[in-house]
A and B are shown apart, each in its own frame.
Chain A
Amino acid sequence: MAKKIQSKKAAAVEKNIHPWRLCSYGRHWVREHSMHTPPSKKNPGGSTTIRHAHCANNPSGKDQLYHDEIQEIAGKSFIHVNEKPCPLDLGFKGKGAEYDDFIAGWTKYWNDILTPVEPLRSNVVKALIASESGFNPEMLANKKNSNSARGLMQILNSTRKMLGDERGELHDHFLTVSKNELNDPNTNICAGIRWLFQKQKLASSYLGRNASWEEAVLNYKGKLKSKPNDVEANKQKKIFKKYLDSLVKCEKS
Chain B
Amino acid sequence: MKNLNKKYLLIVLFILILPFFSYAADEKFEKKQFGTYEVSLSQNYHNGLGKIVIKKGNDKVFEESEIENHYSFGNDFDPVLEGPDLYSGRDITGNGSPHLIISNWTGGAHCCHFVHIFELGKKFKKLITVQANSSSVRFVDLDHDGFPEIEFLDGAIDYKFACFADSPGGRVVLKFKKDHYAVAPELMKSSSPTLRKIKNLKKVMSLAFAKNDNPDLPYNFLNTMMELSYSGHFNLALKLADEVWPIDKPGLMKFKDEFSKSLHESIYWKAL
Contact = CB atoms under 8 A, between A and B. Distances in A.
B67 to A, nearest CB: 4
B44 to A, nearest CB: 9
B108 A219 contact: yes
Contacts of A148: 79, 110, 134, 136
Contacts of A121: none
A131 interface: yes
A92 B214 contact: yes
Contact of B109 (A59, A155, A167): A155
B229 interface: no
Contact of B79 (A93, A139, A145): A145
B109 A153 contact: yes
Given A147-B136, A222-B110, A132 B165 contact: yes
Number of contact residues on B: which range applies?
35 or more
Given A141-B134, A147-B136, A171-B45, A134 B109 contact: no
B236 to A, nearest CB: 23
B29 interface: no
Contact of A131 (B135, B164, B265): B164
Interface stretch (B54-62, B155-163, B180-188, B198-206): B155-163
A10 B25 CA distance: 32
Q: Pick the most buried of B110, B133, B153, B215: most chain A CB atoms within 10 A of its CB.
A: B110
A146 B135 CA distance: 12
B107 interface: yes
A168 B163 contact: no
Contacts, number: 131
A60 to B, nearest CB: 4
Contact of A220 (B109, B133, B135, B136): B109
15 contacts: A92-B215, A130-B163, A132-B109, A132-B163, A136-B165, A142-B135, A144-B79, A149-B109, A149-B110, A155-B110, A168-B28, A168-B45, A202-B67, A225-B106, A235-B159
Interface of B: 23-25, 28, 43, 45, 47-48, 66-68, 76, 79, 82, 105-112, 133-136, 153, 158-160, 162-166, 169, 213-216, 265
- In the A-B complex, the 9 residue pairs with the closest CB atoms: A222-B108, A222-B111, A149-B110, A145-B79, A91-B215, A139-B165, A134-B163, A60-B23, A222-B112
Given A153-B109, A154-B165, 19 more contacts: A94-B213, A132-B109, A132-B164, A134-B162, A142-B169, A146-B79, A148-B136, A155-B109, A167-B25, A168-B28, A199-B107, A202-B67, A202-B107, A205-B67, A221-B108, A222-B107, A222-B111, A225-B66, A239-B159
